[in-house]
Amino acid sequence: MPHVEPLRAEQIRDPELLALMARAEELGVPDALFTRILAHVPGHAKAFLNALLVSHSQGNVDHRLKEIIRIQLARFAGDAYFGALRSRKAMAAGLDEASIDAGCGDYDDDPRYSEAERVALRYADQMYLDPRKVDAAFYDEMKRHYSEAQIMELGGFIALHYGMQVFMRALDARPLGTVDA
Amino acid sequence: MLDEGVGNYAASSRFTSAEKIALRYSELMATDPQALDAAFYAELRSHYDEPQIVELGAFIGFNIGYHTFFGTLKFYPMFSPDGALVSQEESERLYGAAPVSLAGGSAD
């Protein structure tokens, strides 16, 4: 069990939050546990769940790439909850576990990734491993492959998802359906 | 007080036990999540209810994520501590190298 008891599903009656939960269930990330914990503070639950969904599944950066980055960050954070979840949309678009593992590992030498994808993966792992390396020269390199809007989309996505992974790690949460959930 | 809360809260007399454990929650989420065990949450519950713990945890996580991102973008507050609009270069000089609280410096 996570350190904070999730609300029971029937305790969540807010139509807006239920609609967001339906969108999350369709995507597969996050599962209902995240919202049932956040729903102790309904305003937070709606704001964070909506932001997670928008940043992950909308925008102009390939959703499969963002899914690899999301899992890369969860593994780096040591977050068993978000690290175990998978986007159905990304998997349906052809993403597989081998590509996820490669993207979380030695992606620089992996021919399956383009230069643009590698710099995005490096953006995520350097952000929290060594943010001093994400300097003006790094952003110049990013701008060779991405627009300013895409860079903000990636940066905001990385920051929000990493932050929520840190939160779920602190609660020692596991996905619903696993033994410890 | 801001600076003391960041750097010296455990020994400070400015903070209550409830405030100190909230500050410790934030510190450990970033630096040592393994220390956030059942005993820690039991202590947290002696000061905060479940909604407050969730509120704190989500707020802290969000800030851990975003502060690092914003730090890489190298942008600084638009205004000086006395409320004057300043350039980014001037703001970096004011805030960048050694941030101090807007209250006017260290807590001493």
Residue type, B20: K
Write out chain A's pLDDT in tens, 181 residues.
Answer: 899 999 999 999 999 999 999 999 999 999 999 999 999 999 999 999 999 999 999 999 999 999 999 999 999 999 999 999 999 999 999 999 999 999 999 999 999 999 999 999 999 999 999 999 999 999 999 999 999 999 999 999 999 999 999 999 999 999 987 644 3
| Assigned domain for B105 exists | no
Task: Let me know the angle formed at the C-alpha of A72 by A70 and A78, rounded to the nearest 5 degrees.
Answer: 100
Give the model confidence (pLDDT) of B15-47 as tens digits.
999 999 999 999 999 999 999 999 999 999 999
In a domain, B33, yes or no: yes
* Cβ contact A159–B41 (<8 Å): no
B69 contacts on A by Cβ (under 8 Å): 127, 155-156, 158-159
Number of structural domains in chain B: 1
| Domains located in chain A, CATH noted | 9-170 (1.20.1290.10)
Domain that holds residue B7: 2-96
Q: Give the SS3 label for residue B85.
A: strand
Whether residue B51 is preceded by a cis peptide bond, meaning omega within 30 degrees of 0, is no
Place of tokens 């995240």: A34
Task: State pLDDT tens for residues A6-16.
Answer: 999 999 999 99
CA distance A28 to A88: 6
Residues 63-102 of A with CB under 8 A from B: 78
Look at residue B104 and tell me if it is in a domain.
Answer: no
Q: Which residue has the tokens 């305790």?
A: A11
DSSP B27-67: HHHHH-GGG--HHHHHHHHTT--HHHHHHHHHHHHHHHHHH
**Taking CB atoms and an 8 Å limit, are B69 and A44 in contact across chains?**
no
The reply to whether B108 falls in a domain is: no
ipTM value, please give it: 0.94
Location of structure tokens 């102790």: A40
Residue B65 in domain: yes
Please tell me whether the overall predicted TM-score, pTM, comes out greater than 0.90 for this model: yes
Residue B50 lies in a domain: yes
pLDDT of residue B8: 81
